[in-house]
Structure 1
Amino acid sequence: MNTPQLFSLEAIASIATPFKQKFAIPRQPNLANAQGVITFKEGFNDINMLKGIENYSHLWLLFIFHQNIERGWKNTVKAPRLGGNSTMGVLASRSTHRPNGIGMSVVKNKGVVSSNGQTKLVVEGVDLVNGTPLIDIKPYIAYADSVPSASDNLDSIKPIPNRDVLFSETIQQTLAEIEKKHRDFSALVTAVLSQDPRPAYKQKLDNDDKTYRVTLYDIDVGFQITDAVVKVTDLVHLG
């Protein structure tokens, strides 16, 4: 039996995003126009490492599922797109519980910012929890990375939910105040909640009187499902 090879990986950066918890994060990149700001760590905080990156509209982010590693992994996983009960092989899935805990996302490149000696890279369409460590960044090259003939059968099994989202009249003033600080807040909430982040077995319910909660930026968002519509019921500023 061959001895497994061991490799050492070092985070080169971390990313700040609106997603303060795993619940309700879009299951794939670019399903919401959430912005992320990448800050490079000591030893990698060199703007020369990003020379020429403006030539690419999109980038690959390689990262660590740092909140899941201690939970280990299994050879099969429950797949939300299969209803949450059916299983499939971990390597045939995008599960966050993987043998090496490495993930990848393709995001929009919004440019480099350098201030007071700190290099930052702004991206859009992120699906990463706030503080996720990045181990590499690579350019997305359309002629090589885009495969027009590629296919999967997930949509035929269970399409991604696309529910209407309404904001309660009672929170309009609070919403207006929040958008003075976070201009994309309404759009972000709508994009995230339209995908119905409830557990897969609950998504078939068009009426659900339970109030679910998700934190976006520094706002605790409460919502319910009524007559197949997601209704945002309250917005609470966190300390």
Structure 2
Amino acid sequence: MTIEPVGWVRTCFGEKFGVPRQPGLCPSAWGELRFAPEFRNDESVRGLDGFSHVWLVFGFHLTADRGWSPTVRPPRLGGNQRIGVFASRSTFRPNGLGLSLVALERVALTDEGPVLHLGGVDLVDGTPVFDVKPFLPYAETLPNARGGYAEAEPARIEVTGQEMLAVLDDRSQRVVVEALSLDPRPPAGRDEPEREFGVLMCGKNVRFRIEDGVCRITGVDEI
């Protein structure tokens, strides 16, 4: 099988660092799916606006050239315990494919074809999308499902210094706070409380430090 992208998403996340590790954890995070020229047909999305959420089958394009590994170390386990790749959502997969459930905020029909406006995304800007499928609540909402080692939502931390975000619109401010509350630092960087990080988000470089379980925004710079 040979597959080609049906489109690409533009999102508020300018790099892999800072992207929520699962969809829906940052509800304000936005994205726009714009279709490839051969799929810019209004008929292809007829009826889609009746659904609140869609599945995106996408490609981990930033790590695809690094191959796959039979075991990985998920951040939820502190980055120091190995599990099987098929028991994870790691990017280092045999076919480099991901699956994301995102909110469908609206379907816009434009001169350049349909555009899907999305919410709660966990995808970096420019991610290729290979398919779109509507979410079916009656079949795919499973209240008694088990979540293994990731049973509960990740803990969140307090975010201060939000006055630094005044240069951003309201939704972008919410994106930054929601994303930083998840502590995006890699496990290896959590032993350096004095270290300042920068993350490309909502068209800005947002600088922050995390110390004593509190994230402090230290500045917002132009990119």
Q: CA deviation at 1:236?
A: 0.1
Q: Name the counterpart of 2:142.
A: 147
Instruction: Please tell me whether the aligned partners of residues 19 and 25 of structure 1 are also in contact (alpha carbons under 8 angstroms).
Output: yes
1:21 equivalenced with 2:15 (yes/no): yes
Equivalences for residues 1-239 of structure 1 within 5 A: 7-33=1-27, 34-155=29-150, 160-167=154-161, 171=164, 175-179=165-169, 183-203=170-190, 208-238=193-223
For residues 119 and 224 of structure 1, do their structure 2 counterparts lie closer, same or farther at Cα, with a shift above 3 Å needed?
same
Question: What amino acid does structure 2 have at the position aligned with 1:190?
Answer: V
Structure 1 moving runs of 4+ over 4 Å = none
Q: CA deviation at 1:117?
A: 3.7
In 2, Cα distance between the equivalents of 1:142 and 1:168?
36
Summarize deviations over 1:194-221 as a string: whole Å, max 9, x none: 1101112544x5x711001100022001
Q: Which runs of 5+ in 1 are unaligned?
A: 1-6
Question: What amino acid does structure 2 have at the position aligned with 1:177?
Answer: V
Q: CA deviation at 1:168?
A: 6.2
Q: CA deviation at 1:149?
A: 1.1
In 1, Cα distance between the equivalents of 2:71 and 2:26?
28
Query: TM-score, normalized by length of structure 2?
Result: 0.94
Instruction: Please tell me whether the aligned partners of residues 46 and 119 of structure 1 are also in contact (alpha carbons under 8 angstroms).
Output: yes
Instruction: Please tell me whether the aligned partners of residues 63 and 92 of structure 2 are also in contact (alpha carbons under 8 angstroms).
Output: yes
Question: What amino acid does structure 1 have at the position aligned with 2:173?
Answer: S
In 1, Cα distance between the equivalents of 2:49 and 2:208?
39
Q: CA deviation at 1:177?
A: 2.8
Instruction: Please tell me whether the aligned partners of residues 21 and 215 of structure 1 are also in contact (alpha carbons under 8 angstroms).
Output: yes
In 2, Cα distance between the equivalents of 1:63 and 1:106?
11
SS at the partner of 1:190?
helix
SS at the partner of 1:15?
strand
Q: Percent identity?
A: 37
Summarize deviations over 1:216-238 as a string: whole Å, max 9, x none: 02200110013321000010011
Q: Name the counterpart of 1:3.
A: none
Q: CA deviation at 1:176?
A: 2.2
In 1, Cα distance between the equivalents of 2:184 and 2:102?
21
Summarize deviations over 1:142-166 as a string: whole Å, max 9, x none: 111111110123257x861310001
Task: Report the count of equivalent residues.
Answer: 222
In 1, Cα distance between the equivalents of 2:150 and 2:70?
24
SS at the partner of 1:224?
strand
Instruction: Please tell me whether the aligned partners of residues 218 and 237 of structure 1 are also in contact (alpha carbons under 8 angstroms).
Output: yes
Q: CA deviation at 1:101?
A: 0.5
In 1, Cα distance between the equivalents of 2:185 and 2:119?
24
In 2, Cα distance between the equivalents of 1:193 and 1:231?
9
In 1, Cα distance between the equivalents of 2:178 and 2:25?
7
| Structure number, greater radius of gyration | 1
Question: What amino acid does structure 2 have at the position aligned with 1:138?
Answer: K
